[in-house]
Amino acid sequence: MTFAVIGSIASSLAFDYNGNCIYYLLFLARFWLGVGIGGEYPLAASISSEASEANKQQKHRGKQVSAVFSMQGIYNVHPFAYDSH
């Protein structure tokens, strides 16, 4: 999660001070953001599964894990719904 936070902050603070330098800064920032998200995504199912076991809701564990992954499709479409073009 630290890589995702650092990558997103660096991406928002990138500025162009030397011609095309902003592209390199954005590339590095988005790379580390992707590493952070890519590392966090596989843990989402295990965290929700462990949370349901801790709450003694083992009969609802499958629903909870599938709810975590079903929201991925909605969030993938969300940026295109608010396109400014």
Rounded to two decimals, what is the model's pTM?
0.56
Residue 84: pLDDT over 60: no
pLDDT of 36-48, one tens digit each?
888 877 777 677 7
* DSSP count for the chain of H helices, then E strands: 3, 0
pLDDT of 2-29, one tens digit each?
888 888 888 888 877 777 788 888 888 8
pLDDT reported for residue 52: 66
Residue 83: pLDDT over 80: no
